Amino acid sequence: MSSQPLLHELRTRLTAARGPVDLTTLGRDLLKAPRASPEQVRRILQPLLAQIPEAVLGADCRLRWQPLTEALPIASTPLTEARFVVVDVETTGCKAPQGRVTEIACVTIERGRITENFASLVNPGEPIPLAITDLTGITNAMVANAPPFAAIAQEVQRRLASAVVVAHNAAFDRRFLTAELTRVDATFVWTAPTLCTVQLTRRLIPGLTSYRLGAIAAHLQIPHTACHRAPGDALATAELFLRLLNQLTDQGQTSVEAVAAFMTKGRRAHRPEDTGNAR
């Protein structure tokens, strides 16, 4: 089955379901591959799930259909009045919910300026792979006395409430935050409109050789210290988003809803650099 019919069938099955759906069971049925491993199913379906924001994969590897109706009032907010929260997470791996958050940062933007910063290391409750430590510089010793995500979940939710969430490769951050928040509260529903600075930059600044955060920051001469650490990446993303906001306003984009539509119009398939923990 090609990707578009499979995407349609996946959406149809999820909207018709009367409760959580096991990802592996659903995938084997859709793919007509009863012996496919959970890893194979996840690898095939994850790119499709990224196109269905209402489909939320929980820590129990079950899909829940969570309509985004609560996000509509925020989506219709004028850009000049919206509150944006730029988020970045560092993790123990590239896949959620298996991987865990090791660091989080939130940068709040209101009326065109940065107004708040929040950052915390997070004890993931599992060893950090050496390759991840080499990438981020975050060691097991650094997180040993850090709070578990459950201890900061309320603070994170408070900051995300009534906000438009922005991230560089937003699908990655959203997956991990959804997994962590669902572990704390099984009733958690992601309703925040979400904007991706990778997709926006592709639309507004076409032709760059790379859309990694570091490459874009260098191109636009945006300071980017502490690369692959949540506070540094979140701040650089916030500065990038402020530049993009100015361009969007100049082009006549007046609402969050309009920007979201502009962002996804004619979206091309992700390149390898846009996925995983490569920032």
- Taking only the tens of pLDDT, the chain with its 279 residues reads 556 688 888 888 888 887 889 999 999 999 999 999 999 998 888 888 877 767 888 778 888 877 654 455 677 788 888 999 999 999 999 988 899 999 999 999 999 999 999 999 999 999 999 999 999 999 999 999 999 999 999 899 989 988 999 999 999 999 999 999 989 887 777 888 899 999 999 999 999 999 999 999 999 999 998 899 999 999 999 999 999 999 999 999 989 989 998 998 765 444 444 443 345
Second CATH level (architecture) for the domain 71-274? 2-Layer Sandwich (3.30)
Rounded Cα–Cα distance for residues 264 and 240 (Å): 18
**Is-contact 276 125, C-beta < 8 A?**
no
3-67 belongs to which CATH class?
Answer: mainly alpha
Q: What is the pLDDT of residue 54?
A: 73
- Count the residues in the chain: 279
Q: What is the pLDDT of residue 277?
A: 38
Q: Which of 168, 219, 224, 228 is flagged as catalytic? A: 228
CA nearest to 155, candidates 115, 125, 184: 184
Domain map (residue ranges) of the chain:
3-67, 71-274
Does the annotation mark 228 as catalytic?
Answer: yes
Q: What is the pLDDT of residue 192?
A: 86
**Is-contact 53 68, C-beta < 8 A?**
yes
Instruction: Report the chain's terminal Cα–Cα distance, integer Å.
Output: 32
Decide whether 3-67 matches 71-274 in CATH topology: no
